[in-house]
Structure 1
Amino acid sequence: MTDPPEATVTLPAEVVEQYEKFSRFNSPYPAHERGRAVDLYPGDGVGRSPVAGTVSAVRTVGCPDRPYAADEDHLIVVGLDDEWCARAGAPSGTVARILHVIPAVAPGDRVTVGDALGPTTRSGFFGQWVDDHVHLGFRPPDANPLRASGSLPVAADLPVERVAWDGTGTVVERGPTHVVLAGPRRTEPGPSFAALASDGGVPLDGGLTHYAGGGTFAASGAAPGEDGRDERRPRSGDAVSLLGTRIGTAAAHGGGSSGAPRVEWGAVDVRANGDRIVGLSLFAARGERFGVKLVCPDRSFAIGESVTVELVPSDDPIRLGVG
């Protein structure tokens, strides 16, 4: 006798559209690697609630020691309203786990979608190049809500525009460990979000290739095949390439039938103007021009500098862990 399939929690479009960026796979933590968590980037330092329900617990935990980060992080647990669960396809009694927000709420408080939970915090659980965000995961009914393991698959119910890129751009933003290139302009007026696309036209998600795996987004303008799925979406075992180089292999879906496939990154180096850098940070973002984030703590680029990115096979690719 086999266990019933897990429910996938599918975030409605109006929930995700509160935020400037989102990603399911741009993290080395196990929940993200399996498509069982999503990071939502507000852009203004306010940790808004992506769910509706009642706060059941608030916890403060110690962070890994990072010179750029706070010593503590915070967990907010919300028991979800039945109406919210029904819209998201979650079982009644599902709870949400929210991290990286300094809580301005307490157990017993009611929250709705868009309510301010508190300011976001710079957490030692993520890299210095990572923007402040709301980490969101879900635990099924009767599970320990304080544990991350066993979280439900997560998907987002909105299409993402696929943006083609030739690997070039001009530096428009600098940070201690990253730069952002002015990437290509978006071409479609409809979708709220866009992401860099593979050579096959699939929007990509994750840390390429400094985390072990990444994923894809559901593409806008998809042409369904005979089975109703996007004919461009890779199936398990298909090769995925970018800038003319094979970067990985599509794996099982991360996030149930409505989630797009995971991608297991191959042995690839990212080079910028000939120098090896840590990698590319891939996500879905709003805005007319799609910026490309290069993770490069050991390489300095000047504002206005022209950069050409190449992807090349590697015998020793960079892989970052969670320690």
Structure 2
Amino acid sequence: MTETVTLPTAVLDRYSRFSRFNSPYPSHDDGSAIDLYPGGEAGISPVTGTVRETRTVGCPKRSYAAETDHLIVVDLDDDWCRRAGVEFGTTARILHVIPRVSPGDRVVVGDALGPMTRSGFFGQWVDDHVHVGFRAPGVNTLRASGSLPVDVAGDVEPVSWDGTGVVVERGPTHVVLDGPRHPAPGDAFAAIASDEGVPLDGGLAHYAGGGAFATLAAGRAVRLWGTRVGVATDRGIAWDSIDVLANGERVVGLSLFAARDAGYGAKIVCPDREFALGETVSVSVVPSEDPIRLGIG
């Protein structure tokens, strides 16, 4: 057994998208949690086991979010632990779902745990999702820190993108473009790739760190459109001081993730900049002396 939880492909296939690094919170900074996007209203269980407890917890106050979040702790079945490559007795911590399960209930992968909730723990541009982390046997499950590293089985296809696209979706703080095109919707997960062909994950570069859906040697430089955007660390990518531009104007950044749905396209975080549906947008990155960095306050 290892100290890394590897989610099997049979679990990932229940979801349309996932990300390990697209958050400012410590558990995502080092890849010790994963956000899973079911694509509907129900929070789908990524684990099999017995519910140990549920708890309502406070979260940062946001005008668009609920005042509280919810924690579901699940004692994992031995078979699930075996397939994920972790020690028997490992537990799962699930957030952003209003529990319709109770202590003692048995759940299996694919069960609806309850409706997802919009939490103050994530940005307005972030879609509803299931956050899950894992704790080794005997480790406190209620503390925010202490989760095991998370990896995924299978590959994420790198998608080359020239930075251009047409706006096909608008939200209060973001737009989605029609590019890049997914190479095989429904059949494989894919993500925007660096110049080196590395599929990227995280908030570029509005969070201090991101990651990759591939193994990178520490110290390896990562470039996008000819500009160095970061350097690989032991567990992720430390972004350089850069700005993301859309049609020549600075925006908050790019939201990067792996997706398998046909609606996949680049998501630009731009609360202070409006783009019209049908507008053509060109995205670029440039070095910056004052990069945007979003915290957790």
Is 1:235 aligned to 2:213, yes or no? no
Q: Secondary structure at the match of 1:300?
A: coil
Instruction: Spell out the pairing of 1:146-185 with structure 2 (5 A cutoff).
Output: 146-185=142-181
Q: What TM-score, normalized to structure 2?
A: 0.97
Q: 2:231 aligns with which of 245, 249, 263?
A: 249
User: How far off is 1:162 after superposition?
Assistant: 0.5
Give the Cα separation in 2 of the matches to 1:186 and 1:322: 32
Is 1:123 aligned to 2:119, yes or no? yes
| Alignment CA distance shift 1:190-1:17 (3 Å) | closer
Count residues with an aligned counterpart: 297
Give the aligned partner of residue 187 of structure 1.
183
Root-mean-square deviation (CA, aligned residues, Å) is 1.4
Give the Cα separation in 2 of the matches to 1:315 and 1:112: 49
Give the aligned partner of residue 55 of structure 2.
59
For structure 1, which segment, 81-90 or 188-197, has the greater mean C-alpha deviation from structure 2 after superposition? 188-197
Give the aligned partner of residue 258 of structure 1.
none
Is 1:21 aligned to 2:17, yes or no? yes
Q: 2:274 aligns with which of 291, 300, 310?
A: 300
Give the Cα separation in 1 of the matches to 2:213 and 2:43: 23
Give the Cα separation in 2 of the matches to 1:187 and 1:236: 29
User: How far off is 1:153 after superposition?
Assistant: 0.6
Over residues 215-247 of structure 1, what are the superposed CA-to-partner deviations in whole Å (9 max), with x where a residue is unaligned? 0003xxxxxxxxxxxxxx531111100111100
Give the aligned partner of residue 283 of structure 1.
257
Over residues 246-296 of structure 1, what are the superposed CA-to-partner deviations in whole Å (9 max), with x where a residue is unaligned? 0000111x3xxxxxxx11000000000111000000000013463000000
Give the Cα separation in 2 of the matches to 1:277 and 1:170: 16
User: How far off is 1:185 after superposition?
Assistant: 2.2
Letter of the 2:54 counterpart: V
Q: What TM-score, normalized to structure 1?
A: 0.90
Give the Cα separation in 2 of the matches to 1:77 and 1:190: 30
Give the aligned partner of residue 99 of structure 1.
95
Give the aligned partner of residue 284 of structure 2.
310
Give the aligned partner of residue 49 of structure 1.
45
User: How far off is 1:148 after superposition?
Assistant: 2.6
8 Å CA contact 1:159–1:191 kept in 2: the answer is no
Letter of the 2:105 counterpart: D
User: How far off is 1:17 after superposition?
Assistant: 1.0
Q: Secondary structure at the match of 2:32?
A: coil
Give the aligned partner of residue 8 of structure 2.
12
Query: Could you list the runs of 4 or more consecutive aligned residues of structure 1 that deviate by over 2 angstroms after TM superposition?
Result: 184-191, 287-290
Give the aligned partner of residue 246 of structure 2.
272
Letter of the 1:234 counterpart: L
8 Å CA contact 2:211–2:237 kept in 1: the answer is yes
Give the aligned partner of residue 65 of structure 2.
69
Q: Secondary structure at the match of 1:121?
A: coil
Give the aligned partner of residue 201 of structure 2.
205
Give the Cα separation in 2 of the matches to 1:13 and 1:314: 39
5+ residue gaps, structure 1: 219-232, 255-261
Give the aligned partner of residue 322 of structure 1.
296
Q: Percent identity between the aligned chains?
A: 68
| Alignment CA distance shift 1:103-1:28 (3 Å) | same
User: How far off is 1:62 after superposition?
Assistant: 1.5
Letter of the 1:237 counterpart: G
8 Å CA contact 1:183–1:289 kept in 2: the answer is no
Q: Secondary structure at the match of 2:80?
A: helix
Give the Cα separation in 1 of the matches to 2:191 and 2:6: 19
8 Å CA contact 2:205–2:243 kept in 1: the answer is yes
Give the Cα separation in 1 of the matches to 2:261 and 2:113: 25
8 Å CA contact 2:186–2:260 kept in 1: the answer is no
